[in-house]
Amino acid sequence: MAVHPLPPRRTSAPETPDPPAYDRRRAWLILAMVVAFMMINYADKSVLGLAAVPLMDELAIDKSTYGLISSSFYVLFSVSGLVVGLLSARWSTRTMLLVMAALWAVAQLPALVATVPALVAGRLLLGAAEGPAASMSMHTLYGWFPPGRRGMPSALQIGGAALGTAVAAPVLTWFIVNLGWRSAFVALAITSAAWCLVWYAVGKDGPYSAAAQWSAAGAAPASGTPGTGERNGTRPTVEAPAPPLSRLLLSGTVVGSVLSAFGSHWALAVSSAWLPVYLQAQLDLTASTASVAVSAVSVLSLLLLLSVPALVDRRKRHGRAGRAADGIAQGAAVLVSGAALALLPFAEQRAAQLALVAVAFAAHAVAIPLHYVTTAAVVPAARRGPVFGVVAATGTLPGMFVPYLTGHLVDGAASEATGYAIAFLLSAAVMAVCGAVAMLAIRPDRDARALGGEG
C-alpha cells in the first residue's frame, strides 16, 4: 500500500480585531461629565476655606484647630489614590467614579452636626474619596479618546479643576452669607448626588478601556492566555503577557512623567498656600489687588492648558510625535516656571515681579495633563489604571509637605524676604532637576515598543 505524505499543515496569521471606532459625540459627552466631576471635586476642597471665618466664630475654635480640620483632608488622600489605582484593573471606571461622587455627597453631611470631630471625620472621608479622582477620571477619559486625541481632553479635565475653583468661590460665598455656612456644604452634597444620577444614566466604559478590549476579544484574558474572538469565528490569538508593574513604573517615560508632575505640584503647593500671603506681605498689594493677581495667574494657566496640549495633539496627528511633542513640552514647562521662580527674589521693579509671578505659577500647569498623556502612551490599557494611581500618588506628594516647609523656612530666616528667597530658590532647584530629567527621560515611541503601550 502506497503511503502518501500528508499535505503540509496550513498556517494562518492570527487575526487581530480592528481598532475600535472613535465615537466623537459620546466621547465629548463623557468629557463634559468628567469636567463637571472635577469642578465639584475642587469646590468640595475649597468650601471649608470659604466658610472658615463664620465656622470658627460659631464653634469658638482657634486657628490651630481649624488648621487641624483642614489638614485632615490630606491624611488619606495619596494613600487612597495609590490603593484605588492598584486595584482599578479589577473595577469598571464607571463604577469607580459613581462611588467616589456618592462618597463626596456623604462627606459633606457631618457639617450639619458642626463639631470638630464630625468635621474632621467628614474631611477624612472626603480626602479618601477624592484621592483617586484626578487619575481615575483621566483613566476614564482615555477609555474614550484614542492616543492621538488625548491632549485636549486631558487639558480640559485639569482645566475643570481651575474652573471649579473660580465658579465655586462666588456661588458658595453667596450661600454662606445669605443662608449660613452649613448651606454651602448641603448644596455641594446635593450637587454631587445630582451628578451621580446623571452619570448613572450616561456613564460607560469606553472602547479604548481594558474592559472593552477584553470584551471585544471574547473574554477577559489572563496574561498569556487566549483572548480573541471565538464568538465571531476567527482563530483565537494569544495575548502577549503584560509587563510587570515594576517594569512599567521604572521605564524612562513613566519616571520622567512622574518627575514633571512632581515639579509642577511643588509649584502648585507653594502658590496655593503662600502666593496670596507673599503678594500682600512682600509686594505690598492689598487683599483685593492680590486676589486679582491670583486670578490673572489662573487665567494664564488655563490659556496654556487649552493651547499647548492642543498643539501637541496636532503634532501627533501629523506624524510628528515623540520627545518634542511630549517630553520636551512638559519638561520645559517645569523648567520655565523654575527659572522664573529663581529670578523672582532678585527683581526690583513691580512689573517685573508680577510678570515673574505669573510665569512661575502658571507655566508649570502644562505638565499636569501631558504627564498623563506620556504615561498612557507607554502603558498597556490593562495596566493603565494601576500605573495612573501610582503616578498620581507620587506626583502629588509635594502637597503634603511643601506648604509647611516653606513656612518653616520663612519663620527661620533673618527676615521674611530672606526666607521667601530661600524657599523660592530651593523650589526652583527642585523644579530644574525635575524638568531637565523629564526632557531627557521621556521617550514614548521607544518605551511603547518595549512595553506594548498604545503609542
Rounded Cα gap, residues 162 and 151, in angstroms: 17
Rounded Cα gap, residues 334 and 271, in angstroms: 14
Q: Residue 190: pLDDT band by 50, 70, 90 thresholds?
A: very high
Rounded mean pLDDT, 249-264 = 89
Q: Is a pLDDT exceeding 60 seen at residue 350?
A: yes
Between 8 and 90, whose confidence is greater?
90
Between 234 and 339, whose confidence is greater?
339
**Greatest mean pLDDT range, 78-82, 215-219, 360-364:** 360-364
Q: Is a pLDDT exceeding 50 seen at residue 14?
A: no
pTM higher than 0.85: no
DSSP character for 238? B
Percent of the chain beyond pLDDT 70?
80
Q: Is a pLDDT exceeding 80 seen at residue 442?
A: yes
**Which range among 109-113, 119-123, 188-192, 326-330 shows the weakest confidence by mean pLDDT?**
326-330
Q: Residue 10: pLDDT band by 50, 70, 90 thresholds?
A: very low
- Where are the alpha helices (H) located in 282-414, listed in sequence order? 287-317, 327-343, 350-362, 367-378, 381-395, 398-412
As given in the structure block, the three cell numbers for residue 415 are 527676615
In this structure, the number of other CB atoms found within 10 A of the CB of residue 383 comes to 23
Q: Residue 200: pLDDT band by 50, 70, 90 thresholds?
A: very high
Q: Is a pLDDT exceeding 60 seen at residue 336?
A: yes
Rounded Cα gap, residues 215 and 221, in angstroms: 10
Q: Is a pLDDT exceeding 60 seen at residue 455?
A: no
**Greatest mean pLDDT range, 51-65, 103-117, 311-325:** 103-117
DSSP character for 115? -
- Name the burial class of residue 156, with classes exposed (0-12), middle (13-18) and buried (19+) by CB atoms within 10 angstroms of its CB: buried
Rounded Cα gap, residues 366 and 435, in angstroms: 12
Q: Is a pLDDT exceeding 50 seen at residue 392?
A: yes
